[in-house]
A and B are shown apart, each in its own frame.
Chain A
Amino acid sequence: MKKTMIAMILVGGRGTRLGDITSETAKPAVSFGAKYRLIDFTLSNLTNSNIDTCGIVTQYEPFDLMYYIGSGRSWDLDIIDGGIRFLTPYARKDNILWQKGTAHAVKQYFNFITSYNASYVLILSGDHIYKMDYQEMLKHHISNKAEVTIAANYVDLKDASRFGIIEVDKLNHAVGFEEKPDKPKTNLASMGIYIFSVDALEEILKKASDDDIDFGKNIIPKAIKSEKVVSVFRFDGYWRDVGTVKSLYDANMDLLDDSDFLDLNISKNLPVYSKSLNLNPHVMLEKAKATKSLIADGCLINGEVIHSTVAYSSVIESGSKIINSVILPRVTIGHDCFLQNVIVNKDIVIPDNYRCESLDLTLITETNMFEVGGIYD
């Protein structure tokens, strides 16, 4: 089966900077915006871009993510001659093939690409929030006769050291690439989204040494040095790499403050799909109050929710007040609690009269609950 372009989503590592939020979950399966998981955005972009074949390269806590994605049906990716494949570590006769890095994983699964006889490979991350039509990027790739195309976005200079920073020439070709530089030369950041012509990718990976395990750190800089045509595709829309507790919180607040955020509620153009969990609509009881907030299905609210997101199947009892916070799924908050500037990790039960109102953003987890706050009568 010949496919023009197939995608590979690199789920990668542990996501340590998200703390306990990823203790039992791969990063793409982290909850965002009350009802979504981060991976929803990438999978929806694929289906909206008519790319129906996708390998998901994963090895850290894959269970939750695999269960969530299932056959890919919620994103129309359950097709017969393509669809979703999970590319997990496997044992060969001599050893187990652990993935040492993103590029290393693609190299291990190169036969996935050749089996579809694809001309182009789209390399994606599973934990970004954005909407993009990848066909536009492919058009750019082809019309610029590129061998590699990198999607890039301007970021605040003060944040630039978190990203891969690109230098371009007049032709919009990358001439320099530094992964997470201490002193960034520009603020044009790689989004971690690449299109490779398959021949070029094969050649680069063949030449790569055993230590060249990462696209951003090793492969892209080498491609530029070896004078491959590396083009840059500018993307102006909303794009966030949710790598830290703070950025996860900020993205939730962005969604709260913009009622047209990514047009999530409009089914035309590029809709964002999510898997239905068969939850009943949420219930607002007699003492409930919600302003400037988002509440998902399955919740039962009898307290006050102000400028916060409340993810699915959470309960907020009477007398409690939640301000400027992000409540992850299946949280139960007892009576007369007060929470401000917090992220509450999923599946937590907050006891009656609990308070946590630090001025700095705080992640409340099962283990730190009584360190960051406490019960006050």
Chain B
Amino acid sequence: MTNLFMIIDATSKGNFSKLTRHRVPGALPFGAKYRLIDFSLSNCKNSQITNVSIFPYGNYRSLNDHIGSGDRWDLNRRNDGIFILPPKSLNLTVENEISFQRMYEHYEYFLRSNQEYVIVSPASLVWNVDYNIFLHSHLMNKADITEVLSEDNKRLKTYILSKSLLLDYVDNYNQIQFRNLSDVFDYAPNLERHIYKFNASCCLVNSAKELYEANMRMLLKNVRKEWFKQNRPIYSKETMSAPSRYGEEAIVKNSIIASGAFIEGKVYNSIIGRKVHIAKGAKVYNSVIMNQCKIEENAVVEYSVMDKETRVLENSVVDGDIDKLFVSEKKQVVVSDKSLSILQATAECYPYVKTGGLADVVGGLASQLSLQGVQSQVIMPMYPVIKKNYELLLEIVATTKVDFDGLSYRVDLYSLINQNTTYYFVDSYHFFDREKIYGYPDDGERFAFFTKAVVAFLDALNQKPDIIHIHDWHLGLLPCMLKNMNLNIKTLMTIHNIEYQGIYSSNILEKAGITPLIHFVNGKLNFMESGLNNATKITTVSYTYRDELKYEYYSKNLVDIINLRDRDFYGILNGLDDDISPETDLEIENKYTLVNVFEAKSANKLDLQKRTGLEQGEDYFIMGMVTRIVEQKGFDILIPALYEILQNPLVEFVILGVGDEHYHNSLLRLKERFPSRVSLNLSYDATKPNYIYSGADTFLMPSRYEPCGIGQMISMKYGTIPIVRQTGGLNDTVDAYDLSSKRGNGFKFYNYDSRDLLFQITNAHNIFVNHKDDWQQLIINAMHSDFSVADSAKEYIELYKIV
């Protein structure tokens, strides 16, 4: 018996893209026949730990199914045993580490546990260890808290401390700034800290790439020796499969094969799960193939992670890359890249017309799709500005009449081809020959009419589309209209911001002659709701926003339909245009790359101070913002925090943007208080955003919600360190900097609360002033961050194939 009990932290969602759609990371298949959590649970058994709790987030069905009564790990005991403790409050969004708040929800569990010490460790940690060595070391060093690090100083999120100390934090979770044990270890005062360096092989698996790498490490003899020990076996759920069978032409080298596999083809350097069939002539190189996949005849698979039951059809070629693995979804059917034809239908598209981020995404995706071999077409309304700028290039393709509200309107279809993408423009004098793009009382009629015109012109397009990809509410009626007309074309709908739904009077339906197929709340027509109900698949612009939309706090009136469509709902992060770079930026004073960033940024900082009237000096810590000045962007928590932090005479603040008057007024009062260290540019032309991106030290985005966000990506590319709230795309793009491992590219806080924002600003400021090396490391990490449009397009293509 041991005096330890264990908390397995399964709250982290990691970055596994499709692999964790239906399971938590701990339940991910690993090493041909295991699940990640088998290692933690087997370590418990091998450490004589009998009291184990698991704190999962969200969908833990698969974890539950795998663990059962825990009997495989001797955890089906009369006393103690295994406890799965689900989140009680569904309004908690996913965090990277178990919080004291989560523990507080199951306070009784802690009271009931008889052991004096606790080990907290993640579910996705692959290692073979007797936990008692940590406890022993903890006691020998008379430590208050012991953290376990890997051989190469990676944090393993593994802590040992006494139950009583842990409960001190859990009791007071809502009064302290520390959300979790990492915070405590990093910031809590008056603690005796001890670091235990674990000198054998271990992998903390937090992404698809890390899952792949951990699998590949099993091919190393010394790693196998450390993970699979005779005296400490790794136990797993009992399953039924025959021994592995090799066919007449099988060639298998340097690979690990689980039982039930049937191998007739070639396998090199790969991990093959249970009941996988690799048919004659098929080749698998450097890949992880999970249970029950079928690689059919003559297919070739390289650098891939195939989730369970994926089928790679015969003759298909899947060529992932060591830096960009191919990852399939459970039960996906992978076909060869036969040419896909995609039509994007949108209200705006860069470079033709742009009012916001939507245009950039559509335009970037359209040209990337062409580059990656997809037949790419875009259709949008013809606005006067397009006609004016592109008159010489436009060709008329077709003309037709569209009925609307009892009248018949003439519409023309123009097109132009740019870098292999065909852009179509629907010209209607009555609906679109207006000065602005949106903002008319009849916007509902205008886009209902546009939708009708798109359907009417489908036969006039160069390429018949396999899938119509629609953006935001404007085309929300299209899937329903296609169904009304029995047109069998699949649709993908992307939500860019759920706040804009297009709610109009339902008589538009009659005017357009549409049968709605659903009942709208309040009898009003809701374009987005109609789209969400009828589109074949749905995406939004970041993984975290996708998860957040399951909660009413974020998706408001549409929460039910979002949850109903959860299986068809995906997150794909927007990319950042490769042209945005401090290396080629013509606006800024000193262009730079990683080579000269530190000198150039100092010079650009002085230039920014000069241009915006701030006090000049290298020692100032400049916080910058480029934003719309609205509630969403977090001004309610920002302004009190600014009053606090600006007490420090070496801190400055610069903002560029326009927005709500009452925030303008608050900012003006702030400026009055700190006239020489606050610069307001409350219109788009007083300064240029690029001066701020290149000259500031940090970039603030304390948004209440942020579907994707682009400012943080630009700022990182410019080596300006983002301080963001952990929400939406901000959470997906910013990794919190960690002083011990030197990883991370910014600062994040969780609660929508001034104090938490201030805590992270102070934290950043402290590193800026007292740890110059770390600040430089942060700049390097930030500039190394990669958010390419090509990767984003690749994910869309993957999705088009399974729509």
Contacts and interface: CB of A to CB of B under 8 A. Distances in A.
A75 B234 CA distance: 21
B238 A294 contact: no
A281 B249 contact: no
Contact of A267 (B240, B245, B247, B258): B240
A230 to B, nearest CB: 36
B252 interface: yes
Contact of B256 (A282, A294, A305): A282
Interface in A278-331: 278, 280-286, 288-297, 305, 309
For chain A, give the interface size range.
35 or more
B255 interface: yes
B244 A278 contact: no
Contacts of B251: 289
A88 to B, nearest CB: 26
Given A259-B262, A265-B242, A291 B248 contact: yes
Nearest to A263: B242
A292 B264 CA distance: 9
A291 B246 contact: yes
A272 B257 contact: no
Nearest to A267: B240
B777 interface: no
Given A74-B238, A280-B234, A281-B31, A293 B246 contact: yes
Nearest to A301: B252
Contacts of B257: 281-284, 295
Interface string B397-416: 00000000000000000000
Contact of B275 (A265, A291, A296): A265
A226 interface: no
Interface string B228-264: 1000011110111111111111111111111110100
B243 A33 contact: yes
B32 interface: yes
Given A74-B238, A272-B240, A284 B252 contact: yes
Nearest to B275: A265
Given A280-B224, A281-B31, A292-B247, A274 B255 contact: no
A274 B243 CA distance: 11
B245 A281 contact: no
B550 interface: no
A294 B244 contact: yes
B243 A296 contact: yes
A34 interface: yes
B247 A297 contact: no
Contacts of A280: 31, 33, 224, 228, 234, 256
Contacts of B235: 278
B39 to A, nearest CB: 12
A305 B247 CA distance: 11
Given A265-B275, A296-B259, A281 B243 contact: no
Interface in A22-77: 33-35, 73-74
A259 B245 contact: yes
A294 B243 contact: yes
A282 B244 contact: yes
B233, B257, B259: which has the most chain A beta carbons within 10 Å? B259
A273 B262 CA distance: 18
Given A265-B260, A281-B33, A281-B257, A296 B247 contact: no
Interface string B67-99: 000010000000000000000000000000000
Given A265-B260, A265-B275, A281-B258, A296 B244 contact: yes
Residue from B238, B243, B244, B245 having most chain A Cβ neighbours under 10 A: B243
B247 A291 contact: yes
B241 A265 contact: yes
A290 B259 contact: no
B246 A295 contact: yes
A286 B253 contact: yes
B224 A294 contact: no
A82 to B, nearest CB: 19
A243 interface: no
Contacts of A296: 243-244, 259
B241 A284 contact: no
A305 B272 CA distance: 19
Contacts of A305: 246
A276 interface: yes
A294 B261 CA distance: 10
B233 A264 contact: no
Contact of B224 (A259, A283, A284): A283
B245 A291 contact: no
Given A35-B259, A281-B258, A292 B246 contact: yes
B246 A286 contact: no
A286 B240 CA distance: 29
Given A276-B238, A281-B259, A294 B32 contact: no
Contacts of B255: 283-284
Contacts of B252: 284, 288-290
A293 B254 CA distance: 17
B285 to A, nearest CB: 14
A297 B242 contact: no
Given A284-B252, A289-B251, A278 B245 contact: no
A295 B243 contact: yes
A293 B245 contact: yes
A271 interface: yes
A278 B249 CA distance: 30
Given A288-B252, A295-B257, A278 B247 contact: no
Nearest to A293: B246
B240 A271 contact: yes
Contacts of A282: 244, 256-257
Nearest to B237: A276
Which residue among A73, A271, A282, A292 has the maximum number of chain B CB atoms within 10 Å of its CB?
A282
Contact of A290 (B31, B32, B246, B258): B246
Given A35-B259, A259-B262, A282-B256, A273 B31 contact: no
Given A289-B251, A297-B243, A305-B246, 8 more contacts: A264-B242, A281-B272, A284-B253, A288-B253, A290-B246, A293-B246, A295-B243, A309-B243
27 contacts: A34-B243, A35-B259, A267-B240, A272-B240, A274-B240, A276-B236, A276-B239, A278-B234, A280-B31, A281-B256, A281-B272, A282-B256, A282-B257, A283-B224, A284-B252, A284-B256, A284-B257, A285-B253, A286-B254, A288-B253, A289-B251, A291-B246, A293-B246, A295-B257, A296-B244, A296-B259, A305-B246
Interface of A: 33-35, 73-74, 259, 264-265, 267, 271-276, 278, 280-286, 288-297, 305, 309
Interface of B: 31-33, 71, 224, 228, 233-236, 238-260, 262, 267, 272, 275
